[in-house]
Amino acid sequence: MKTPTTPLLVLAIVLGLASFGWADPDAENQAKYEEKIAKPFVAHGAWVLDYDEARERAAKEQKLIFAYFTRSYAR
């Protein structure tokens, strides 16, 4: 008599794939982001982290913007 491996395999795959969606990626990414910006080179570097605020400030001071975009805290 053969064992029903196909239903068990399907169940294992479904449960495995479902587990990837259980974590809240936004909360996880926000936590990673906050960890990154708390590092000394950011926290004490006088960086403007809001793009719109940087544009306003650059226009007021007649300066260019140096922008560095990254998502290294993401999966």
Per-residue pLDDT for the chain (75 aa), expressed as one digit of tens each?
555 555 555 555 555 554 555 667 688 888 888 888 888 887 787 788 888 999 999 999 999 998 877 766 555
Domain housing 61 = 24-75
CA 31 to chain CA mean position, Å? 8
Total of domains in the chain: 1
Query: Is 61 inside any structural domain?
Result: yes
Query: Is 4 inside any structural domain?
Result: no
What's the alpha-carbon Rg for the chain, to the nearest Å? 23
Query: Is 52 inside any structural domain?
Result: yes
- What distance in Å separates the CA atoms of residue 42 and residue 12, rounded to the nearest whole number? 44
The residues, any chain, with a CB within 8 Å of residue 63's CB and separated by 6 or more, are 57
Query: Is 63 inside any structural domain?
Result: yes
Q: What is the pTM of this model?
A: 0.46
Query: Is 9 inside any structural domain?
Result: no
State the burial class of residue 29 (Cβ atoms within 10 Å of its Cβ: 0-12, 13-18, 19+): middle
CA atoms within 13 A on the CB side of 58: 13
